[in-house]
Amino acid sequence: MHEKLEYASEQTESKLKDMFDKLLKASETLSPSVAKLLQKAGLPV
C-alpha cells in the first residue's frame, strides 16, 4: 500500500513538473510580463 502511494505521488510530481515546464514555455512566448509575474510569485523562471 505504501509503495503504491509513493508511486502515485511520484507520478503526480512528474505531471506537475511537466505542466510547469509547459507553463514556462508558454509564458516565454506569451509575454515577458508573465515571466515577471511568476518571478514576483517567487517561482524560478
DSSP-assigned letter for residue 20: H
Q: Tell me the C-alpha to C-alpha distance, in Å, between residue 42 and each of 1, 17, 35.
A: 35, 16, 11
Q: Is the model more confident about 17 or about 2?
A: 17
**Coil, helix or strand at residue 43:** coil
pLDDT digits (tens, 9 = 90+) for 9-40: 889 999 999 998 888 787 667 777 777 877 78
Query: 508558454: which residue's cell?
Result: 26
Report angle CA 6, 41, 35 to the nearest 5 degrees. Answer: 105
Prediction pTM value: 0.45
Contact 45, 24 (CB under 8 A): yes
